[in-house]
């Protein structure tokens, strides 16, 4: 939590002013029973002659109430400023830190967990900071101040406070120590609920298409009930705090009235003093209830803070190493005995891949589902680091490049076509912020997207819904290809990014890419042999290993896996099936 407390440094003024004014409010509250004592023992005791004293006492009480309210307003205003500023800064840095995560770290932490920590956990921390500044100082001041004031009223009767307050402290801290680890478990269960919800929302079309609503409802119900059980368990323990504190305080009130009545009878205590003592005990009761609730909230905040701190402490980005640059600079990409094994995965996804790609070459990669095509391609922009071998770009190990410099050399179109809410222009500019309209239209034309964008009202400024829902699957793919082409990078990677295109559009796209003025080195991953047959070299993968490298004609003769894929897609006469 020390790291998180650093986010309060810009709000030192608020952190000081809020408790200070709460302290002042508490002081005025502690003076109220003394005024009540004065009204009873002086004003009421005089009968008709004590009206002036009574009204004077009421006037003082009104002044105390107004000043106390003003103090409370100032305290709550500055507490809110500090809490909101704290959470805003923390959420900003947390999001920025997550943006630097490698794919490996993102896989390890989990998307749903990161969503929960940047939303629910930070919100819980905000509430914890707010309540701490408002009540964490006020409540102890009132509790111990009431005990001290009670001794000034009547030392003998005030011994009840010495017994009750330690017992109350024992109850509060015992429950606090018990619930802190349990709240961490509750938040983990919330991660699970968030994960199931996110999976259902992103895969809703598949769920409905396969009629899996019932099983998904059951999966969500199980996760939700587990969260409910954990929440009820810790809630049940926390709920003990209020009744236990009430029992102890009410027992203290009974003792006060009992001992006070005896002392009044023998003349060692006045009626006003008894009322003042019971008022102080009532103040302790109210403040302890507030303090108990604050403790529960702070416990949740501590648990959430530990979770947020773990994400902030996780290594962000990838280490840049010092290595020689003696590789062949005429090669755009060189894969030297490359392998990749994902974390917590026993078997390698890719192993023993050797491939040298000259500049301007078009490379096709084909294989069955799960053969390691995307895993291999992800090593070039360094989304993952190779666990064996080396990946060279322009004769230089990718690990020696600053990440931004490496990624600027590469334009990649992932399997899933992702568009962001905004306009066509704003999405294309992700590829190159400085691109002009002519460059954008040229990229759209090469990606076979110019016609349908021109038909849209607004053209480049046509709106794009979240995830591009107002475009068809093929249109989304062409827009993501255009976004990559806008970058005009040295290396272009198309990861099965034309699967939704018809054969004619796919062929026109490949022809346009071959005619690009910057002549990039192109990697095309596809399940279609027709998309790859004109590539300069084709790599065939099977179970993460290379089983064939060559041109289309060479592989038909020498590679059984490639020939099987080709035969499954074409009839004997060479016509497409």
Q: Using 50, 70 and 90 to split pLDDT, how confident is the model at 299?
A: confident
Residue 267 zone, left/alpha/beta (φ > 0; ψ -120 to 50; rest): left
Distances in Å between the Cα of 447 and the Cα atoms of 12, 293, 423, 437 are 55, 60, 17, 15
Q: Using 50, 70 and 90 to split pLDDT, how confident is the model at 313?
A: confident
Concatenating the DSSP letter of every residue in 10-68 gives GGHHHHHHHHHHHHHHHHHHHHHHHHHHHIIIIIGGGGGGGHHHHHHHHHHHHHHHHHH
**Secondary element (H or E) of residue 517:** none
Contacts of 472 (CB under 8 A, 6+ apart): 500
| Residue 226 main-chain phi, psi, to 5 deg | -65, -40
Question: Can you give the pLDDT at residue 326?
Answer: 62
Mean pLDDT of 477-499: 90
Listed by start position, the domains of the chain span 2-313, 331-569
Q: Using 50, 70 and 90 to split pLDDT, how confident is the model at 311?
A: confident
- Tell me: the pLDDT tens digits for 88-109? 999 999 999 988 888 888 888 8
Contacts of 487 (CB under 8 A, 6+ apart): 408, 411, 431, 432
Domain 2-313, architecture per CATH: Up-down Bundle (1.20)
Q: Using 50, 70 and 90 to split pLDDT, how confident is the model at 577?
A: very low
Query: pLDDT at residue 199 above 50?
Result: yes
Task: Give the rounded percent of residues in the chain with a pLDDT score beyond 70.
Answer: 97
Q: Using 50, 70 and 90 to split pLDDT, how confident is the model at 575?
A: very low
Mean pLDDT of 271-285: 82
Q: Specify whether domain 331-569 bears CATH 3.40.50.300.
A: yes
Mean pLDDT of 189-205: 82
Torsion of CA 211, 213, 218, 219, to 10 degrees: 90
- Tell me: the pLDDT tens digits for 366-385? 988 888 888 899 999 988 88
Query: pLDDT at residue 210 above 70?
Result: yes
Top-ranked range on mean pLDDT: pick from 83-92, 149-158, 249-258: 83-92
Q: Using 50, 70 and 90 to split pLDDT, how confident is the model at 429?
A: very high
Question: Can you give the pLDDT at residue 572?
Answer: 47
- Tell me: the pLDDT tens digits for 557-568? 899 989 888 888
Top-ranked range on mean pLDDT: pick from 50-64, 302-316, 480-494: 480-494
Question: Can you give the pLDDT at residue 289?
Answer: 73
Contacts of 289 (CB under 8 A, 6+ apart): 242, 245, 246
Query: pLDDT at residue 426 above 90?
Result: yes
Query: pLDDT at residue 126 above 90?
Result: yes
- Tell me: the pLDDT tens digits for 6-38? 889 999 999 999 999 999 988 988 888 888 888
The angle subtended at Cα 52 by Cα 46 and Cα 53, nearest 5°, is 65
Question: Can you give the pLDDT at residue 325?
Answer: 58
Closest CA to 283 of 75, 29, 65: 29
Mean pLDDT of 159-181: 79
Q: Where are the alpha helices (DSSP H) in 351-463?
A: 373-377, 403-408, 424-428, 437-446, 450-455
SS3 (DSSP) at 519: coil
Contacts of 226 (CB under 8 A, 6+ apart): 189, 192
- Tell me: the pLDDT tens digits for 216-236? 899 899 989 988 988 888 888
Q: Using 50, 70 and 90 to split pLDDT, how confident is the model at 574?
A: very low
Question: Can you give the pLDDT at residue 1?
Answer: 67
Question: Can you give the pLDDT at residue 234?
Answer: 84
Question: Comparing 563 with 284, which gets the higher pLDDT?
Answer: 563
Contacts of 573 (CB under 8 A, 6+ apart): none
Mean pLDDT of 413-442: 90
pTM (2 d.p.): 0.71
Look at 20-29, 262-271, 410-419, 518-527 and tell me which has the smallest mean pLDDT: 262-271
Taking all residues of the chain, what is their mean pLDDT, rounded to a whole number?
Answer: 85
Query: pLDDT at residue 282 above 90?
Result: no
Question: Can you give the pLDDT at residue 523?
Answer: 93
Mean pLDDT of 299-327: 79
Strands (E), 359-397: 362-367, 388-393, 396-397
Residue 475 zone, left/alpha/beta (φ > 0; ψ -120 to 50; rest): alpha
Question: Comparing 322 with 408, which gets the higher pLDDT?
Answer: 408
């Amino acid at each position: 939590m020390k790291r998180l407390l650093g986010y309060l440094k810009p709000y030192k003024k608020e952190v000081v002013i809020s408790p200070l004014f709460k302290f002042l409010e508490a002081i005025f509250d502690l003076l109220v029973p003394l005024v009540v004592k004065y009204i009873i023992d002086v004003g009421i005791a005089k009968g008709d002659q004590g009206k002036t004293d009574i009204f004077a006492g009421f006037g003082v009480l009104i002044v105390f109430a107004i000043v106390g309210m003003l103090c409370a307003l100032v305290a709550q205003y500055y507490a809110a400023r500090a809490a909101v500023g704290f959470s805003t800064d923390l959420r900003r840095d947390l999001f920025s830190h997550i943006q630097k995560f490698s794919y490996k770290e993102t896989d390890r932490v989990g998307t749903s967990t990161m969503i929960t920590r940047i939303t629910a956990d930070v919100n819980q921390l905000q509430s914890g900071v707010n309540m701490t500044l408002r009540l964490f100082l006020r409540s102890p001041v009132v509790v111990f101040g009431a005990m001290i004031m009670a001794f000034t009223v009547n030392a003998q009767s005030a011994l009840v406070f010495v017994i009750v307050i330690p017992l109350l402290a024992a109850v509060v801290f015992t429950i606090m120590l018990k619930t802190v680890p349990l709240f961490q478990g509750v938040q983990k269960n919330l991660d699970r609920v968030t994960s199931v919800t996110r999976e259902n929302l992103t895969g809703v079309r598949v769920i409905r298409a396969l009629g899996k609503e019932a099983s998904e409802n059951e999966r969500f119900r199980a996760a939700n009930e587990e969260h409910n059980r954990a929440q009820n368990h810790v809630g049940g323990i926390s709920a003990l705090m209020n009744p236990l504190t009430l029992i102890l305080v009410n027992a203290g009130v009974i003792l006060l009235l009992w001992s006070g009545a005896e002392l009044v009878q023998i003349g060692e205590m006045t009626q006003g003093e008894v009322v003042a003592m019971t008022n102080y005990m009532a103040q302790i009761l109210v403040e302890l209830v507030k303090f108990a609730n604050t403790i529960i909230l702070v416990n949740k905040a501590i648990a959430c803070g530990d979770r947020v701190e773990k994400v902030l402490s996780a290594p962000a980005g990838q280490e840049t190493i010092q290595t020689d640059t003696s590789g062949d600079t005429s090669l755009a990409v060189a894969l030297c005995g490359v392998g990749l094994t994902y974390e917590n995965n026993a078997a390698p996804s890719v192993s023993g891949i050797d491939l040298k790609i000259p500049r301007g070459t078009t490379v096709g990669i084909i294989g069955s589902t799960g053969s390691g095509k995307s895993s291999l391609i992800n090593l070039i922009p360094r989304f993952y680091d190779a666990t064996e071998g080396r990946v060279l770009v322009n004769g230089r190990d990718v690990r020696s490049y600053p990440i931004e410099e490496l990624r600027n050399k590469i334009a990649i179109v992932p399997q899933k076509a992702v568009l962001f809410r905004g306009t066509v222009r704003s999405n294309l500019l992700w590829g190159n912020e400085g691109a002009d309209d002519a460059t954008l239209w040229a990229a759209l034309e090469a990606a076979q997207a110019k016609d349908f964008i021109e038909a849209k009202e607004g053209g480049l400024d046509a709106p794009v819904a979240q995830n591009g829902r107002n475009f068809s699957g093929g249109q989304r793919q062409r827009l993501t290809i255009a976004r990559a082409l806008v970058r005009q990078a040295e290396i272009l990677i198309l990861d099965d990014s034309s699967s939704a295109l018809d054969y004619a559009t796919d062929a026109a796209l490949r022809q346009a890419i071959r005619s690009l003025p910057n002549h990039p080195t192109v990697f095309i991953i596809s399940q279609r042999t027709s998309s790859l047959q004109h590539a300069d070299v084709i790599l065939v993968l099977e179970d993460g290993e290379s089983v064939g490298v060559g041109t289309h004609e060479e592989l038909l003769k020498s590679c059984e896996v490639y020939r099987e894929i080709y035969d499954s897609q074409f009839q004997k006469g060479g016509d497409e099936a």
